[in-house]
Amino acid sequence: MKRAVSRACVRILLTYLLAMCCSFASGGDRWVVQAQRGSLLLYAEFDPDTERIWAELAEVDAELLEATGIEGTSGRVEIVLFSTRQSYLQYLSGRVPQASARRAIFLKNGEISQVYAYNSRSLAVDLRHEMTHVRVHQHMPYAPLWLDEGLAEYFEEEEAARPRSSRREAVRWKARVGFSPTLPALEKITAAEAMGADEYRNSWAWICFLINDSADSRQLLRSYVRQIHRGEAPGRFSEYAATENSGLLSRANSYFRKMTFPLTFASSGE
């Protein structure tokens, strides 16, 4: 009798687990829209501008590849959009407590990358930010926090919007009165919880410098990313830069005082 009850319990448990695993993929009645573009799968509680989403994410992929050499894999990416912040928090609060402080979040679930967000005026920005994280973590076995967040902050904005970024004026003003972002200080931060608004802005500023200052600065960034992609350990970027191009980082303060965004440099062809 006990064995029969035990087997029955096991069958019930397996049925429940199977239902839980399948409920997300099948969508049930929750997802108003289910769409797919290549390895990207979209689930939404409302009817978003799907074509715009695909276009924004394709733009991120193209820019990341050109500027840094970072390239996504064919790994599955699930984009889950909630109709309201309340719905977003109800779904994630028990699973991912840190989601309560964010409009969107990227999670790695085995080989599957997941992006959760909710409908808001900043949805396109949020998706661009989180998709940058997805591609960075698909391409690199590890990424320094300042680099990961700096890239996400940079590519969350469309190219035309970057020269008008509020962060640009803050960095320029600080640099002109003698307070430029310090890379070694950023490199010491290993937990996202330790990053505040200043650290996010400073990480963004360093990515701006590396991508936009010159072909040499962009090439240095690409080389650093390539070494990590290969599974090598190039060390802290400030030390790597000092070895590969000793005078490059000394130009950073001058760049921060101007914060220019020139036309996209020609691809290095690597």
114-158 pLDDT per residue, tens: 999 999 999 999 999 999 999 999 999 999 999 999 999 999 999
Task: Tell me, yes or no, whether 270 lies in a domain.
Answer: no
> Between 8 and 187, whose confidence is greater?
187
Same domain, 88 and 160: no
From 107, 139, 171, the end of a domain falls on 139
Same domain, 174 and 249: yes
Task: Tell me, yes or no, whether 226 lies in a domain.
Answer: yes
> Between 102 and 264, whose confidence is greater?
102
Same domain, 99 and 169: no
∠ Cα 73 75 80 (to 5°): 120
Edge-to-edge strand order for the sheet containing 77-82?
33-37, 40-44, 77-82, 112-118, 104-109
pLDDT at res. 98: 86
Task: Tell me, yes or no, whether 224 lies in a domain.
Answer: yes
| Burial class of 74 by CB neighbour count within 10 A (0 to 12, 13 to 18, 19+) | exposed
Task: Tell me, yes or no, whether 263 lies in a domain.
Answer: no
pLDDT at res. 265: 52
Return the percentage of the chain with pLDDT > 70, whole number: 87
Task: Tell me, yes or no, whether 2 lies in a domain.
Answer: no
Place of tokens 């200043």: 198
Same domain, 186 and 112: no
Residue-wise pLDDT for 47-81, tens only, equals 999 999 999 999 999 999 999 999 999 999 999 99
Same domain, 160 and 240: yes
State both tokens at 233: 């350990």
pLDDT at res. 8: 39
Task: Tell me, yes or no, whether 111 lies in a domain.
Answer: yes
State both tokens at 159: 């190219």
- The CATH number covering residue 117 comes to 3.40.30.160
Return the percentage of the chain with pLDDT > 90, whole number: 78
Q: Given a cut of 80, is residue 23 above it in pLDDT? A: no
Same domain, 171 and 209: yes
pLDDT at res. 95: 86
Beta bridge partners of 113: 77, 108
pLDDT at res. 26: 45
CB 202 within 8 A of CB 181: yes
Stated length of the chain: 270
From 139, 172, 204, the end of a domain falls on 139
CB 103 within 8 A of CB 115: no
Place of tokens 């309340």: 86
Same domain, 111 and 198: no
pLDDT at res. 33: 97
Domain count, the chain: 2
CB 222 within 8 A of CB 268: yes
CB 60 within 8 A of CB 155: yes
Same domain, 135 and 214: no
DSSP helix/strand/coil, 235: coil
From 139, 164, 186, the end of a domain falls on 139
Beta bridge partners of 117: 81, 104
Concatenating the DSSP letter of every residue in 33-48 gives EEEEETTEEEEESS--
pLDDT at res. 110: 87
Could you give the CA distance from residue 197 to residue 264 in angstroms, rounded to a whole number?
Answer: 27
Containing domain of residue 177, as a range?
Answer: 148-258
pLDDT at res. 13: 35
Task: Tell me, yes or no, whether 17 lies in a domain.
Answer: no
CB 259 within 8 A of CB 208: yes
Same domain, 172 and 234: yes
Task: Tell me, yes or no, whether 16 lies in a domain.
Answer: no
Give the pLDDT mean for 174-198: 94
Q: Given a cut of 80, is residue 267 above it in pLDDT? A: no
pLDDT at res. 15: 32
State both tokens at 108: 């790695």
Residue-wise pLDDT for 153-185, tens only, equals 999 999 999 999 989 999 999 999 999 899 999
Give me the chain's average pLDDT, please: 88
Same domain, 156 and 101: no
